[in-house]
Amino acid sequence: MKRISFTALILLLFASLFCSTIEVGVNCTIKTITEAIQAAAPGDVIRVHDGLYQETLSIDKKLTIVSDYYYDQDESHIQNTSISSPSSEQAVVCDSDESEITITLAGLTVVGGNRAVKLDSNVKVNLLACNLYAQAESDVAVVVAQPTTTLKLRNSALNASNGKGVQATGANVEVTKCEIGSNESAGISFDGDNVATLSVANSILYSNQTGIDIRDAMGNVTLNHVTIADNLTGIRLRSSNLIVTNSIVYDNGTQLSNISGSCAVSYSDFEGGFGGEGNIDLDPLFDPGNNGSYDLRWDQYGKSPCIDSGDWTTAGDQDGTPPDMGAYTAVNHRFDIWSFPKADENGGWRWFCIPAVDNVLTYPVQNTADALFGGMIDMEILDQVKWNASNTLQSISLLDDEWTNLDHVVNPVQGYKIHMNENATLNYHLEVPGFNPDFNTVMQLSATTDNWIGYFLPETRLAVDLFDSIKDDVNYIKAQRWALERIDGEWIGDTDVSLNYGEMVVVSVHHTCNFQWDTDALISDPDAYPFPEHFDFTEKSEYVPFFIEYSPTFENEEIAITVDGVVKGASVVFGSLTQVNGYLADDDEDGYQGGSHMGEVDFIIWCPVRGNTRKIDDYYVYNESVRRVVHSKIDLADKRDFYYVSFDEESVIDAPPAMALTHYPNPFNPETTISYSLDHEDEVAVDIYNVKGQKVRTLVRGVQAEGAYQVTWQGDDNTGHPVASGIYFCRLKSGSQTLVRKMMMLK
């Protein structure tokens, strides 16, 4: 049968810590299970080792009887630990004069004559991870539950009987993650007797005469994530109320025989159609290549319409995707929902990638632009999607009333810029199921063009760490909201910025090189970028970063770039260095390199506290030839990659690096000495983080003067306990500046 991780057995393990365990087997003192039952006290655990036990068990007290599967999760123990009745009756009888005792059988094969297991009065019985059979030639039932009993059947198989799989009358029954098939009568025969309830979940009823036969159920009978297929009759309903959700009822001779009762179906694949929310009537495409199972196909030949089609308001599948219909979930994949702006948000622009695409199904191809963007290909919604590949700027756009490049195959490692149509007044959402590329995928970065690359690691990580392996080759990195430039081997910009799953960056390098995202980069929190409220400007697909050095007088000051008095970009000021994106191009097609940009460049500071603005037309600009800021005006005809501006002649860019951070030895065991220097007095923190971004140890916290310092890390956490071997990060933060260094502990 199809085994699923069996957490219920783990719960039994904890329960067994508070009771005695009796072992049964050929090499044990007790040879038979019957002897163990007689010797056991209520609540004991009976551990049955591999073997054939030809005996009939009569259980009348609270007991747990398990195979070695319960201890090591080796499924072979289930088939190799067999209880077989020597008579023509049942192998196990559960009966008690006491009220509601609980009996548990786990990880066993039980073979009976007329029955494998019979529940008589009062008992609650759990059958967990069991294979259950009845061998008699007459009409039998594998499991029989009498009135006033409770049956929980989980992760078990009931197959190939000459009668019913489960027969319950007046018993409360829960069936979860079970396979019930090839029975000559009903897979489940349930007579509610007007008092009992039935719920079936994540189970399959197949190749029976009737999948499930329900009668006289006063309360609701529920089927959730159930597959009913290849039965002569799928469901027979008599004087009962049935609720079916997230299920598949298909390929039966008759899907539903509703003699009398009510049936509500939603978010299910029901052959012949069924009224209700979310229902479909499509071939579920069971996977015949997986030993004839009822898995949902998703391969090069087809994709089941039941994948990700269940009720979104219920719990999703184990891989975090929307629920699939039926008993078996599809292969692990992602399901991403991408939101694109309205025309009046960010100028209608978004820089993005699609990290997970359907690269499995080959016909029809699912990751072409036409298939992927679907309803967005509309002149009232989309203006263009553009990308740079092989030194060529390409786009999906409307040309002579025809959309171009709809056959473009969307690549997860490719970065894109999308622009919404001016009539797009609502946010548009794109649902994309698919598979991430290998996280170690290598991308070649060209020195002759800008490289538009997508970020597909699932965690938000620090950008400078992600590019640490090629930092000496980088000219600049530009995301939609931030940029990092290199001057004299140092990063210019906010080194605390990060990349989020599904974003893209434009990377320029001065040597063609191979690059892959560093999966050991420090995990960080997503960035928050408040938008300026005072200044209006038009965002475009290209910008030039202006790094403006000045310390604000009040909180939430805003600074804007103007060209001939027209605002070309603005930002809220944080710290002493603020990046403002200058949208300088005359039009988005030409971009900065091809546009006309002559004009007077000035800056305007808006102070919300005072409610006024002041113009800055006298400033200092970094001059690359002398490698310092000089008193001058910006000449846009230079067409630089960036501009570094200071409102003060005493710029930090003329000083030595504000901080230095090293450590020795590396790798180390068990301690390393961390050396760092400061060029001014400030609040200082030295912290150690693990690869998950969790703070492990605080080494320094407080105000320190200018100078050089050393601190030793003993390889312990804040509680004094030694940390495990692996990669760690030392992070030095002083004021608005941060340095991070990777270190490795080897034991």
| Joined tokens for residue 320 | 């975090």
**Residue 526 has what DSSP assignment?**
P
Write down the mean pLDDT value for the chain.
Answer: 90
pLDDT of residue 219: 80
pLDDT of residue 289: 63
Please state the rounded mean pLDDT for residues 633-648: 90
Residue 502, pLDDT > 80, answer yes
Share of the chain above pLDDT 90, in %: 69
pLDDT of residue 249: 98
R_g over Cα of the chain: 34
| Joined tokens for residue 12 | 């039994």
Residue 658, pLDDT > 90, answer no
pLDDT of residue 315: 85
Q: For residue range 378-395, what is the model confidence (pLDDT) as tens digits? A: 999 999 999 998 888 999
Please state the rounded mean pLDDT for residues 565-578: 92
Strands 117-119 and 141-145: what pairing?
parallel
pLDDT of residue 589: 43
Share of the chain above pLDDT 70, in %: 94
Buried-state track 191-206, b at ≥16 Cβ within 10 A, e below 16: bbbeebbbbbbbbbbb
CA–CA distances in Å: residue 318 to residues 246, 306, 323, 326, 328: 15, 16, 9, 14, 11
pLDDT of residue 261: 87
Backbone angles phi, psi at 636, to 5 degrees: -65, -15
69: helix, strand or coil: helix
CA distance 2 to 71: 19
Please state the rounded mean pLDDT for residues 455-467: 96
Nearest to 629 by CA among 621, 640, 618: 621
Per-residue pLDDT band for 301 (boundaries 50, 70, 90) equals confident
Per-residue pLDDT band for 680 (boundaries 50, 70, 90) equals confident
Per-residue pLDDT band for 651 (boundaries 50, 70, 90) equals confident
Residue 160, pLDDT > 80, answer no
CA distance 522 to 690: 8
Residue 15, pLDDT > 60, answer no
**Residue 254 burial class via C-beta count within 10 angstroms: exposed 0-12, middle 13-18, buried 19 and up:** middle
pLDDT of residue 8: 47
